[in-house]
Structure 1
Amino acid sequence: MTNVARSQFYPTLTINATGGFQSTDIDQWFSANSLFANIVTGLAQPIFNKRQIRTRYEVAQSNQQKAYLQFQQSLLNAGKEVSDALQDYNNETTKLDIRVKQVDALQKAAGYSDELLNYGLVNYYEVLTAKDQALSTQLDLIDNKFRQYNAIIMLYKALGGGWQ
Structure 2
Amino acid sequence: NVARSNFYPSFKITATGGLQSIDLKEWFSVNSLFANVLTGLTQPLFNQRQIRTRYEINKAYQEQAYVEFEQSLVDASREVSDALARYNNETKKLAIREKQVDALKKAADYSDELLDYGLVNYLEVLTAKDNALNSELNLIDNRYRQFEAVIDLYKALGGGWR
The normalised TM-score by structure 2 is 0.94
Q: Which residue of the partner structure matches residue 8 of structure 2?
A: 10
Paired residue for 2:109, among 105, 108, 111?
111
Paired residue for 1:143, among 141, 144, 147?
141
Number of positions where the alignment pairs a residue of Structure 1 with one of Structure 2 = 161
Instruction: Quote the offset at 1:28 in angstroms.
Output: 4.3
Aligned counterparts of 2:3 and 2:37: Cα–Cα separation in 1: 21
Aligned amino acid, residue 131 of structure 1? K
Indicate yes or no: 2:160 matched with 1:162.
yes
Equivalent residues of 2:108, 2:128 under 8 A apart: yes
Aligned CA RMSD, in angstroms, stands at 1.3
Partner secondary structure for residue 19 of structure 2: coil
The normalised TM-score by structure 1 is 0.93
Aligned counterparts of 2:31 and 2:82: Cα–Cα separation in 1: 67
Instruction: Quote the offset at 1:21 in angstroms.
Output: 5.4
Q: Which moved more, 1:35-44 or 1:138-147?
A: 35-44
Matches within 5 A, 1:63-78: 63-78=61-76
Paired residue for 1:42, among 36, 40, 43?
40
CA deviation profile, 1:105-147 (whole Å, cap 9, x unmatched): 0000000001111111111111110000000000000000111
Q: Which residue of the partner structure matches residue 152 of structure 1?
A: 150
Aligned counterparts of 1:146 and 1:48: Cα–Cα separation in 2: 69
Aligned counterparts of 2:29 and 2:149: Cα–Cα separation in 1: 75
Indicate yes or no: 2:84 matched with 1:86.
yes
CA 1:108–1:32 in 2, change beyond 3 Å: closer, same or farther? closer
Unaligned runs of 5+ in 1: none
Aligned counterparts of 1:21 and 1:110: Cα–Cα separation in 2: 106
Aligned-pair identity in percent equals: 66
Aligned counterparts of 1:102 and 1:33: Cα–Cα separation in 2: 90
Equivalent residues of 2:26, 2:32 under 8 A apart: yes
Indicate yes or no: 2:95 matched with 1:97.
yes
Matches within 5 A, 1:121-140: 121-140=119-138
Aligned counterparts of 1:150 and 1:33: Cα–Cα separation in 2: 69
Partner secondary structure for residue 107 of structure 1: helix
Aligned counterparts of 1:153 and 1:130: Cα–Cα separation in 2: 35
Q: Which residue of the partner structure matches residue 55 of structure 1?
A: 53
Q: Which residue of the partner structure matches residue 23 of structure 1?
A: 22
Partner secondary structure for residue 14 of structure 2: coil
Equivalent residues of 2:44, 2:51 under 8 A apart: yes
Aligned counterparts of 2:57 and 2:70: Cα–Cα separation in 1: 20
Equivalent residues of 2:9, 2:41 under 8 A apart: yes
Equivalent residues of 2:20, 2:31 under 8 A apart: no
